[in-house]
Amino acid sequence: MTLKPKIVARCIMFAILFGFLVADLWRFNLLKVWPVIITVAIILLIIAWLFREKFLWLTVVSAVFFLAFLTLANYQITRFQPPPKFQNQTEIFGMVSERPQLDDKQKVVLDVSDYKILINLPRYPEYSYGQLLTVKGKLETPTVFPDFNYQNYLKGKQIYLVINRAESVKVTGNGGSKIKSWLYKIADKFEASLNKSLPEPESSFAAGLLIGSKRGLSDSLITEMQNSGTSHLVAISGYNITIIIVALMSLLVFLGRRNAFLVSLLVTILFVILTGASASVVRGAIVGLLAIFAKLIDRRANNTNLLLLAAVLILITNPLMLIYDFGFLLSFSAFAGLIYFSPILNYLFDRDKWLKRLPEFFSNPLRETLSAQAMSLPLLLLAFGKFSVIAPLSNVLILPFIPLAMAFSLGIGLLGMIHNLLGLYAGNLGWLLLKYPLLIIQILGDFKLAAFDFGKNWYFLTLGLYLLIAVILFTNRKLIRSHAQKTL
């Protein structure tokens, strides 16, 4: 019996992910342990070479990859963790490593000797990516709140120390990547153009749809989006990325498939940088581009392997995201739901005499929403204890119009950057496309029974739901497999 390449690749990637998980949970001294790891790896390879049994060979190779990436992950984690004596410093010097997060205050991430320090500052004066800052203040470990582990949240972003009350901040120069700085400046100008061309909250919603900015979103609107299950619209998820990639490929078809893909690849990379390269953006970009590349070379793209490959590529840079970054986990859970639950729901919709009568314009968003929520529900209950029961209806009413709203928002922003009047004229034309989803969000988000709050830390309920999901997927494995073969 021969081993299929996709099975080999899947086993290796599972082994790598398991290596990341063990590294997250167990720290070891790399200098003391590396001779043992190399010795074990060599012994395993010798065993595989001597016996040459296919399944034994696959097990051994997977074990070697597990050890290799366990070591790499441990190095990555310890490398960015400041030593205890570092916390005694009262003055630090570093570079603003990303676009500051703005709301009523300002959160600046400073890159200090390969360590990331979060500085909480007043709203003004505003700082920007690439600035070199000298900051005086007390370095502290992040607070663990009764209802939120802020320390683990920041750990997922490789941030171990914060300065909550800076005594002084001085700008001493500029650095960083010129391309990244240029992209962030474009994002700022684009967002400013939307603010001039559209009223609030339509301008902030448009900025959220296109570049994931939440700077102008009010607390009440954010709450309404959570209640209505539409927060993903302004999170720049794989859905937004897919729309952009498909649109680019369609517009550039005259260049030929290969050239269109190369241009789409470049634009997507720049877009990922511009939006801050969150897990959902990177995952969406990787999966979308790999799927298109597979079609380009006339190869079958396996959705499970694409999902695993995206996870591996993201976690190589920051293994801690696997257990500490909820956005990462939620993003991949939702995508897994689309892969494995969609065939089941498609079967149900096609067999039910009432559901099959729904036009695709509405049934497709409903299927996608239910599929994504099926896998995300256990995580949502565990982390927030809150579940939106009205999300399917909200997404059915909104999602069909989002691609058009994104297209008009892009045009409004670009025209506004050319001239204010052009942006205002375009804003008057496209305003209704942004007003409509906001109106749905407001109406359904304010509905008293829109979301149920169960309280946090439902560990047994989460485990029970995942067991139920496993049973459903196992009993429908033939249906899922046949659907995957049809879509390849």
| 74-95 pLDDT, tens digit each | 888 887 888 877 878 888 898 9
Distance of alpha carbon 112 from alpha carbon 95, whole angstroms: 7
Q: Which of 213-222, 421-430, 444-453 is predicted most confidently?
A: 421-430
The SS3 call for residue 185 is helix
Least confident of 260-269, 289-298, 360-369, 460-469: 289-298
Which has more confidence, 363 or 97? 97
Nearest to 291 by CA among 280, 307, 277: 307
Q: Please tell me what DSSP assigns to residue 215.
A: T
Which has more confidence, 238 or 226? 226
Mean pLDDT in residue range 96-115: 83
* Cβ-defined contacts of 21-28 (< 8 Å, 24+): 21/322, 21/323, 22/66, 22/70, 23/69, 23/70, 23/73, 23/74, 23/77, 23/319, 24/73, 24/77, 24/319, 24/320, 24/322, 24/323, 24/324, 25/323, 27/74, 27/77, 27/78, 28/74
Mean pLDDT in residue range 252-281: 72
Nearest to 439 by CA among 401, 467, 410, 411: 401
pLDDT number for residue 80: 80
Distance of alpha carbon 222 from alpha carbon 343, whole angstroms: 32
Where in 188-334 does DSSP place strands (E)? none
pLDDT number for residue 298: 58
Least confident of 1-15, 144-158, 272-286: 272-286
Q: In the beta sheet, which residues pair with residue 168?
A: 136
Record the tokens describing residue 292, joined without a space.
Answer: 């298109």
pLDDT number for residue 449: 67
Record the tokens describing residue 125, joined without a space.
Answer: 């004066």
Inter-CA distances, 37 with 60, 134, 176, 265, 320, Å? 14, 42, 37, 38, 21
236-248 residue pLDDT tens? 665 666 666 666 6
Least confident of 95-104, 179-188, 355-364: 355-364
| Beta-strand relationship, 115-122 and 91-96 | unpaired
Residues comprising the chain, all counted? 488
Please name the residues in contact with 238: beta carbons below 8 A apart, sequence gap of 6 or more: 280, 283, 284, 287, 288, 331, 334, 335
Nearest to 141 by CA among 121, 125, 164: 164
pLDDT number for residue 247: 67
Distance of alpha carbon 49 from alpha carbon 56, whole angstroms: 10
pLDDT number for residue 391: 76
pLDDT number for residue 488: 44
Please, how many CA atoms are within 13 Å of residue 123, restricted to the half-sphere of its CB? 5
Structural contact between residues 337 and 375, judged by C-beta atoms closer than 8 angstroms: yes
pLDDT number for residue 222: 81
Res 29 pLDDT > 70? no
- Quick count: other Cβ atoms within 10 Å of Cβ 419? 11
Res 484 pLDDT > 60? no
What's this model's pTM, rounded to 2 decimal places? 0.76
Mean pLDDT in residue range 258-281: 72
